[in-house]
Amino acid sequence: MSHLLPVLAPIIVMVILSSGRAFAATSSGDSSIALSGYFSARYQFRTAETSSGETARDQDVFGDLRIDATTPKTGRYEFHFMGSFRSDLDGNRDLHQNYLVEDIGDTGSHHTMGYLYEAHFDVNDPIKGVTQVRMGRQAGTRDEQVTFDGIALDVRPASSVNLTLYGGAAVNFYEIGSSEGDDTVAGAGLDLYPTASTGISLDYATLKDKRDYLELTDVKDDLATIRVWQRFTPSLKATAKYRHQNGESRDLTVRLLGAFPGAGTEIGASYLRQFRTQVAQSNALSPFVDVMGPSDPYQSYEVKLRQFFGKRYAFDLAYFKRELTGNSVAGTFNREYSRTAAGFEVSDMFFANLSLTLSGDQWRSPGSPERTYSSGGADIGYSFGKKGSMARINAGTYYSLYKYDYYLQLGERTNVRTYYLTTKIPVVKQVALNLGYEFEDSIEKYQTFKAGIRYDF
């Protein structure tokens, strides 16, 4: 079904554009079906050049369609759809050479691919005690972002208890030799609310991944999760999540978020500890391990502070550190480094709707000797036009000691200075044009131009 999406998406969009008003509110202010969502399309052109003069170029087209339909009168039924497609216009499918602009979309065997992320029909309160039943393709039924074709239901035996049951065929979008229906997922989750400010979630999921490639056998993962959250005040909340996989500790995540409007202060802190090497897992839990390799144990710390001074000024401080643990060896995607950053933002500078952000960073990378990099960045933005449909333009630069994107570039780049220019221009009501240019200056030089249009309905 996902392969038909590039053909179906334009047809669905035309139906929406031609008959959307039939689903919208009537003159009396009521509607049998409320429809919302968006359609976006964009063109991307990239070039790359090495110090030796090697060059490459790549052109791609992307599209996204989101539909949310509800029945506001009764609140009984819902339908949710999310799909995308991408087409490689250049057609370079030689995956055995070092292609400078290769991305995750080049790992497949087709120039054009469609991805169906959500397409599920929901029934609310079908019987007493069952709050919702979801049928179809679903993403992230619980805390894990696992996509599957199947059924899920929520049961609420008491106001302070919620039980979720789900199961079906796992859907893996980036898997070598994948075949939908061969992989399965099933699980259950229990939410407890001892008080209005405290929540506890217990989850268990079992995933089966059938493999017949790269000399790998079938993989089965049993994942248990406990998550606790505590709200100390209306604007101060802490969460902790621990995961246990296949008889071993997998990871621990702790977060604290707070805002103090009276003092103009916002804070955030997080800690992440991965206890074991993650490799050869089911694809649903680690979709890119086949192309990126294993992830060794590490821990990271992050602290952020934002302080407002009146309505126009804000000051930011941040610290992040990532360090390997145990016998982990540094390598691509397994780095040790720290970053200390400070920033200053001013709005309505000189005149209304003109903003400026200045930032300074210090990066440290351990080694012999230890390497230290200091850098600066800036962003200037301006909004203009009528209120409610204002255009926006931003230009700026920033530095990255390590830069990579799991969903786009398959490689890791170091010591990258990035320059960018972006703009959003409303064309007509609910339609906006987006343009962007980005230049990455490192060992290789990358240029990216994007042009897109989005319709919100």
- Per-residue pLDDT of 119-136, as tens digits, reads 999 999 999 999 999 999
Better-scored residue on pLDDT, 209 or 318: 318
pLDDT band at 432 (very low <50, low <70, confident <90, very high): very high
The predicted model gives 293-309 an average pLDDT of 92
With a CB cutoff of 8 Å and minimum separation 6, the contacts of 225 are: 143, 144, 201, 202, 203, 204, 205, 241, 242, 243, 244
Distance CA 367, CA 323 (A): 12
- Per-residue pLDDT of 30-67, as tens digits, reads 458 999 999 999 999 999 888 888 888 889 999 999 99
Q: Which residues of 69-91 are buried (b: 16+ CB within 10 A; e: fewer)?
A: bbeeeeeeebbbbbbbbbbbeee
Say if residue 403's pLDDT is above 80: no
The predicted model gives 301-311 an average pLDDT of 95
The predicted model gives 160-170 an average pLDDT of 94
pLDDT band at 250 (very low <50, low <70, confident <90, very high): very high
The predicted model gives 433-457 an average pLDDT of 94
Name the nearest CA neighbour of 251 among 228, 231, 232, 223.
223
Q: How far is CA 56 from CA 43, 44, 370, 419, in A?
A: 17, 14, 34, 20
Say if residue 386's pLDDT is above 80: yes
Report pLDDT for 22: 39
Report pLDDT for 21: 41
What is the overall mean pLDDT for the chain?
85
| Residues constituting the chain | 457
Distance CA 418, CA 400 (A): 8
Report pLDDT for 81: 97
Say if residue 107's pLDDT is above 60: yes
pLDDT band at 297 (very low <50, low <70, confident <90, very high): very high
pLDDT band at 9 (very low <50, low <70, confident <90, very high): very low
Both structure tokens of 272: 């992440």
Whether 311 and 345 have beta carbons less than 8 Å apart is answered as no
- Bin 259: left if φ > 0, else alpha if -120 < ψ < 50, else beta: beta
How many CB atoms neighbour CB 330 within 10 A? 14
Report pLDDT for 219: 83
Report pLDDT for 201: 97
Report pLDDT for 411: 60
The predicted model gives 241-248 an average pLDDT of 94
The predicted model gives 113-123 an average pLDDT of 94
Partners of 224 in the beta sheet? 204, 244
Report pLDDT for 431: 95
Report pLDDT for 124: 96
Q: How far is CA 121 from CA 5, 11, 72, 96, 134, in A?
A: 18, 20, 15, 42, 6
Which uninterrupted H or E stretch holds 10?
A: helix 5-23
Say if residue 284's pLDDT is above 80: no
The predicted model gives 83-103 an average pLDDT of 74
Cα 294–Cα 295–Cα 297 angle in degrees, nearest 5: 135
pLDDT band at 360 (very low <50, low <70, confident <90, very high): very high
- One-letter amino acid for residue 159 of the chain: S
Of 103-117, 290-304, 434-448, minimum mean pLDDT range: 103-117
Say if residue 103's pLDDT is above 80: no
Q: Give the dihedral of Cα atoms 404, 302, 143, 160; nearest 10 deg.
A: -170
Whether 226 and 239 have beta carbons less than 8 Å apart is answered as no
Report pLDDT for 434: 97
- Per-residue pLDDT of 184-235, as tens digits, reads 999 999 999 999 999 999 999 999 888 766 556 788 899 999 999 999 999 9
pLDDT band at 180 (very low <50, low <70, confident <90, very high): low
Partners of 373 in the beta sheet? 363
Instruction: Report the range out of 41-45, 284-288, 347-351 with the highest average pLDDT.
Output: 41-45
The per-residue DSSP string of 323-355 comes to EE-TT---BTTB--EEEEEEEEEESS-SSTTEE
Partners of 378 in the beta sheet? 358, 397
Report pLDDT for 177: 60
Report pLDDT for 292: 65
Whether 243 and 222 have beta carbons less than 8 Å apart is answered as no
Distance CA 307, CA 4 (A): 50
